[in-house]
Amino acid sequence: MEVVISIAIGVMASAGVWLVLRPRTFQVLIGLSLLSYAVNLFIFSVGSLAVNREPIVQPGLAADLATYSDPLPQSLVLTAIVIGFATTALFLVVLLALRGLSGGDHVDGQEEQL
């Protein structure tokens, strides 16, 4: 499972970085979304990757990560998702405003002069 998760994070992060560096605003937006998915998965994996383990200490069992799943990264991911969603929406609005003002979708508001 660790391999699958790390490959997923790596693919999304590299695709995200490539898209963020592109000159079109929509590509940058998608890149930022992909990057934030990668980061959210990364935070999630920092806790402990486990199947069928409850995020709460069971009575009678030692409070050790071997017997329960750390709930804190999950709550951090929730917060990060909410904040990332809101800021991405804001970025989308600015993107549309720039498109309306400049008539194009280049991040600098005008095409490059070659």
Partner 1 sequence: MNHLIVAPILLPLATAALMLLLGEGRRGLKAGFNLLSTAAGLAIAVALLLGVAGREAPAAFGVYLPGNWPVPFGIVLVADRLSALMAVLTGCVGLASLLFALARWQHAGAYFHVLFQLQLMGLYGAFLTADLFNLFVFFEVLLAASYGLLLHGGGGARVRAGLHYIAVNLVASLLFLIGVAVLYGVTGTLNMADIAQKLPAVPASDRGLLHAGAAILAIAFLAKAGLWPLNFWLPQAYAAASAPAAAVFAILTKVGVYAVLRLWTLCFPADAGASAGFGGGVLVWGGIVTLAFGALGMLASQQLARLAGYSVIASSGTLVATIGFAAPALSGGALFYLASSTLAGCAMFLLVELLERARQVEVGPQQIDDGQHALPAFLDAEPPAGTNLDDNEEALTGRAIPAALAFLGVAFTLSAMVTSGLPPLSGFVAKLAMLTALLERHGAAAWALFGLIILSGLFAAIALMRVGIRHFWTTQDRPSPRLRVIETLPIAGLLAAAVALVLQGEVVLGYTRATAESLQAPGLYIDAVMGARPVARSAP
Contact flag: residue 105 with partner 1 (CB under 8 A): no
Contact flag: residue 73 with partner 1 (CB under 8 A): yes
Question: How many CB atoms sit inside 10 A of residue 77's CB?
Answer: 20
Three-class SS of residue 106? strand
Quote the least distance from Cβ 106 to partner 1, whole Å: 10
Going from the C-alpha of 30 to that of each of 72, 86, 104, the distances in angstroms are 28, 14, 17
- Contact pick of 4, 101, 113, 114 for partner 1 (by CB under 8 A): 101
Q: Enumerate residues 31-70 that contact partner 1 by CB under 8 A.
A: 32, 35-36, 39, 42-43, 46-47
Evaluate whether 24 touches 99 at the Cβ level (below 8 Å).
no
Evaluate whether 108 touches 24 at the Cβ level (below 8 Å).
no
Residues near partner 1 (CB under 8 A): 20, 25, 28, 32, 35-36, 39, 42-43, 46-47, 72-73, 76, 79-80, 83, 86-88, 90-91, 94-95, 97-98, 101-102, 107-109
